[in-house]
Structure 1
Amino acid sequence: MHTKLSLLNVLFYLCVFSLSLNQYSAIFKSGEVNVYLFDLLIAVFVVYGMLVFLIKKQLTFPKSYIFFIAFTVIAGLSLVSKVGLLEGIQLVASGMYFVRWVLYLLSGLVVFNMVKSSFISTQKLFTVFIISGLFISLAGFVQLVLLPDFETLDPVLGWDPHKNRLASTFFDPNFVGAYLTLCLVFVIEKLSVVIKAKDRNNFTPLLISSFVLITAIFLTFSRSAWLMLAVVVLIYGIFKYRLLLVLALILVFSAYFFVPRVQTRLSGTTDPADSARFRLVSWGNTWEIAKDNPLLGVGFNVFRYAQKDYGYLTVDTFENHSGAGADSSLLFILATTGVFGLATFMIGFCKNPSSNLLPLITCVSLLVDSQFINSLFYPQILFLWLIVLGISSSYSLRK
C-alpha cells in the first residue's frame, strides 16, 4: 500500500507541474474544445486516488463539499435540460466543461483524504504551490524579455494584445496575477509558522520568495490582481500583522509616484482597448442572459452558444478564449445554472467552519477578483481553491 500512496503523491506533483506549464501543456486546441496535459493527469490522479481510498475504506468528504455536490447536480440538470437544443460539437464542448468541473472537485477530495491520512501535510502542500508560483514568476520574467508584446502573435490564436505585462505560461496577466497572489498567501502562512518557531533557516528563502512573487504580481499590471493583493494585505493587516498595512501603504504610494505606468494603469488610460469598458459590457450581456433564464440558466456550460444566440458573439469573436466565459464568475454561475446553482455554490464557497484565516482570505480575495475575470473556474485557480477549502474545513493548517 505504501507504493500506491507514494505513486499518488507523485501524480499530485505532476498535476501541479503540468498546471504550472499551463498553455505549454496544450495537447489539442480548437475554438470550442481544448485538451491539456494537466486535465488528463488530474483525471488519472482522481481515478487512482479514489481507488486507493475506497479500497482502504477511508474515503471521507469535507463538510463544504456537500454544497458543491448539490451544485454539481444542479449544473448537470441544467446541461441535460438543453441537450435537445445542442448540436454534436456543442454538446461535446459543454459536456467536457462539466466533466472538468467534476474531476477538479474530486481532485480536491483526494487531496483532502491525503492530508487526513497524513500522506501529505498542509505545509508540504503550501511548499508545492509556492514552488509552482516561483516557477511561473521566473517564466514570466523570461517572457517579458523574449515576448514583451503579444501583438506579434498570430491573431488567429485568440490572445489579447498585452504589451509589457507579465503573462508567463498563462498568456494572460489577470489570471496569472490571481494565481500568484494565492501562492503569496501560502508564503505568508508558512512565514507565520516559521516566525513562531524561530526557524531562521527557512525565514530567508520565504522572504525571497515573497519578494519574487510580489514583483511578478506588480509586473502583470493587472488591476484585478492588484486589488486581490490589496484585499489579502488588508485582511492580514486587520487580523494579524498591523505592520503589514503600513509597509503596504508605503509601497503603494512609492509605486504610484515613482512608476508612471502605475498612475496611467489605475486611471484606465493605458489600455487602448479600454478593458474596463468592455468589462461593463460583459456584465450587462451576462445579466441579460441570466435574467431570461432564472431557474436553471442556459446550461453548464452552454454560455458560448447562448452568447451567440443573443448576438453578443460574432464570427470573429466566437472562438476567442473568453467566449465561453463572462467577466464575473458569479454572473457566469447565475447565467449557466440559475438561482439554485448560484445559491448552492455560494453557500459551499463561503460556509467554512475553520477559524484559520486562510479560507477567509482565499474566499474574500477570490470573490473580489472574480468580479472582473472568471477566475473561480480557471483550471489552475479552481484546482487550488478547491484544495484550500477542502483541507481547511477539518484539519489544522499548521501541520
Structure 2
Amino acid sequence: VVIQAFDLHPHAKSDDTIRHEVRSERGIRIVTLLSFSLFAMVVGQLGRIPLLSAGAKEAPLLVNDVAVAIAVGAGLWLSLRNRNLQLDAVALVALGFAGVGGLSTLMALPRFGLSGFELMFSLAYLLRWGLYLGIYVVVINTLSPRDGRRLLRVFEDTVLAFACFGIFQSVFLPGFAQILFPDAALYTVWDPQGQRLVSTFLDPNLAGGLILVALLLSCARLASGDIVPLWRPALLATALVMTVSRSSMLAFVVGLVVIVFLVRRVTWRALAGSLLAMVVCLLAAPWLWRLADSFNKFSLDDPSLLTRFVSWSRALRVLTDHPIVGVGFNTYGFVQLRYGFTELTQSAFGLDGGLLFIGVMTGFVGMTFYGILLFLVLRACKQLWSRDRSSVVDGAIGLGVAAATV
C-alpha cells in the first residue's frame, strides 16, 4: 500500500495541495487515522468481538477493523467531497478479483446447498477484504510521499512493538492462547504452541509473516546504505526465530536472496548487520534446536507437516472439480464438510499455500487477476528502486516491498 504513496501514481499532486485536500474541517488528517489503524493492529486477537460463528470458526470484529473502517470511510468521503477519487490499475484489478470472489460465492449457494447464514458468513470475509482494499484506494488518493514515509515509520514501530511483546510472551507466557481462552477446544480453535512466539495474533505463522515484512524492509534499507539501528533488525530476527515457523523462515531466506540479487551495492552497514545476524543465530542455535525438536520440526513424521500434505491433496481435488471460478470466498470449510473431508474447525476454512488457496476459492480466473495484481505491485517496486531520482530510502522501500511480495 505504502509503495503507491511514493509519487508513483500518475495523478499525484503537490504536497501542499494534498495536505489541504485531506484535512477535514476540524483538522484531522487521513494519515493520522491510518497511523492509528496500524497501531490498533498490535491489539490483534486480544480485541476480538464475536459476531458470527460456524462450528469452531468465528467471524469476529477486531479493534483494528473498526479503526480501518473509520480511516477508509473518512478518506473516501473526503476524496468524493473534493471530487478527486480515482482508481489506478492495481485498484481496478483488485476489484476484479473481488468481483470473481463474490460471484463464485453466490454460485456456491446452489452448487453446495449453502444456507443463507453460510452465505452471509462467507461474504463477511469478502467484505473485510474489500475494507482493507479501501486502504489502498485512500492512500493513492490522499497521501503525499511525505505521508507515505511517515506511515511506513509507523508500520515499522508497530511491528517492533508487536515483536517485543511476542518475545515477552514466548518467555513468560507459554501457551498464550490457552491462557486467554482456557475453555477453547485444543486443535479445534487454537493449537497449543508452547513457547513459540504467537504475540497477539495467537498464531506463530501469522505472527512470523508480519514480522517478516518489517525485517525484510530493514534488511533492504541496510543493504541500500540507509541508516538503520542494528538492534532493530536484530530484535525482529530474534522474534522471527522464536516463532519456529518453517514457512516464515523459508520466506525470509527467499526475500534475502531477492535483496542480494537486486541491490545496487553492498555497504559496510549491511556487512555488519549480516555478521550480527550470524552471531545471533549461532547463540540461539542450541535453544532453537531444542524448541524445534520438541515440536518435531526436524522429523518427516511431524503431524503438522503430514496434515499439510493431506490438505494440499484435498485442495487439488476441489480445484480439479471447480477450476474456473472456484468454490467461493471463504466457503472452503463448508465445501470440505460437503465433501466429507473434515468438520467445521478453525483450520477447515484455511489452507497452507497461498496461491493454491486462491485457486480453490476463485479458480483460474481469480488466480489470473491475482497474478496480474502481483505483477503490477512488483513493477511499481522496480520503478521505485531503479529510477535515478529515487532517494536511498525510497529505493530501499521498493526493494524491501519486492522481497516481501516474492
Could you tell me the TM-score, scaled by structure 1's length?
A: 0.79
Establish whether residue 105 from structure 1 lines up as the match of residue 127 from structure 2.
Answer: no
Describe the shift of the 1:93–1:311 C-alpha distance in structure 2 as closer, same or farther (beyond 3 A): same
- Is 1:114–2:139 an aligned residue pair? no
Structure 1 residue 362, shift from structure 2 partner: 3.8
What runs of 5+ residues in structure 1 fail to find an aligned partner?
Answer: 197-202, 368-399
Matches within 5 A, 1:351-370: 351-352=376-377, 353-354=379-380, 355=382, 356=384, 358=397, 361-362=400-401, 365-367=404-406
Q: Hey, what's the Cα distance between the residues in 2 that align with 1:253 and 1:190?
A: 21
Q: Which residue of 1 aligns with 2:116?
A: 88
C-alpha contact 2:326 2:359 (8 A) present in aligned 1: yes
In structure 1, distance between residues paired with 2:87 and 2:399: 20
CA distance in 2, matches of 1:335, 1:62: 27
Number of the residue aligned with 1:302: 331
Residue of structure 1 in register with 2:198 after alignment: 167
Q: In the alignment, which of 205, 224, 236 is matched to residue 213 of structure 1?
A: 236
Letter in 2 for 1:76: G
Q: Find the aligned partners of 1:246 and 1:44 in 2 and give their Cα distance.
A: 41
Tell me which residue corresponds to 2:28.
6
1:24 and 2:54 aligned: no
Residue in structure 2 matching 1:79, options 62, 87, 105: 105
- Verify the 8 A CA contact 2:220 2:399 in the aligned structure 1: no
Q: What residue is the counterpart of 1:394 in the other structure? A: none
Q: What is the distance in 1 between the residues matched to 2:401 and 2:299?
A: 29
Listed one character per residue, the Cα deviations across residues 261-316 of structure 1 (whole Å, up to 9, x for unaligned) are: 377489834798531111111111111111100111111121110111112222xx
Segment drifting more, 90-99 vs 4-13 = 4-13
Work out the CA distance in 2 between the residues paired with 1:309 and 1:251: 51
Question: 1:167-192 CA deviation, whole Å, 9 max, x = no partner?
Answer: 10011111111101111233345556
- Structure 1 residue corresponding to 2:361, chosen from 336, 350, 356: 336
Q: Output the CA distance in 2 between the equivalents of 1:144 and 1:266.
A: 15
Alignment of 1:285-324 (within 5 A): 285-314=314-343, 318-320=344-346, 322-324=347-349
Percent same amino acid among aligned pairs? 27
Q: Distance in 1 between matches of 2:220 and 2:124?
A: 35
- Give me the whole-angstrom Cα distance separating, in 1, the residues matched to 2:133 and 2:82: 21
Contact 1:223 1:265 in 2 (8 A): no
1:242-321 correspondence to structure 2 within 5 Å:
242=266, 244=271, 247=275, 250-251=278-279, 254=282, 258-259=286-287, 260-261=289-290, 264=293, 268-269=297-298, 274-314=303-343, 318-320=344-346
Structure 1 position 73, deviation (Å): 1.6
Moved over 6 A (4+): none
* Aligned partner of residue 85 in structure 2, secondary structure: coil
CA contact (8 A) 1:126 1:186 kept: no
- Of 41-50 and 235-244, the range deviating more from structure 2: 235-244
For residues 252 and 209 of structure 1, the distance between their equivalents in structure 2, rounded to whole angstroms, comes to 13
1:106 to 1:25, Cα distance in 2 relative to 1, 3 A: same
Take 2:222 and 2:28, find their aligned partners in 1: how far apart are those partners? 28
Q: What does 1:118-267 align with in structure 2 at a 5 Å threshold? A: 120-150=146-176, 153-156=182-185, 158-191=189-222, 195=225, 203=227, 206-240=229-263, 242=266, 244=271, 247=275, 250-251=278-279, 254=282, 258-259=286-287, 260-261=289-290, 264=293
State how far apart, in whole Å, the 2-side matches of 1:341 and 1:135 are: 35
Alignment-derived partner of residue 11 in structure 2: none
After superposition, the C-alpha distances for 1:118-170 in whole angstroms (9 at most, x for unaligned) are 5x533212211111111101111221233213566444371111111111001
SS of the residue corresponding to residue 33 of structure 1 reads strand
Q: Tell me how many residue pairs correspond in the alignment.
A: 353
Provide closer, same or farther for how the CA distance between residues 359 and 71 of structure 1 changes in structure 2, counting only shifts above 3 A: farther
Q: Structure 2 vs 1, CA of residues 251 and 288 (structure 1 numbering), >3 Å: closer, same or farther?
A: farther
Query: How big is the shift at 1:359?
Result: 5.3
SS at match of 1:268: coil
* RMSD (Å) for aligned C-alpha atoms: 2.9
CA contact (8 A) 2:31 2:151 kept: no
For residues 355-377 of structure 1, give each alpha carbon's deviation from its aligned partner in whole angstroms, at most 9, with x where no partner exists.
Answer: 2355565455455xxxxxxxxxx
**Partner-residue secondary structure (3-state), 2:313:** helix
User: Residue 256 of structure 1 contacts residue 263 of structure 1 at CA under 8 Å; is this kept in 2?
Assistant: no
Q: 1:165 to 1:329 in 2, by over 3 A?
A: same
Cα shift at 1:256: 8.1
Distance 2:221 2:278 in 1: 24
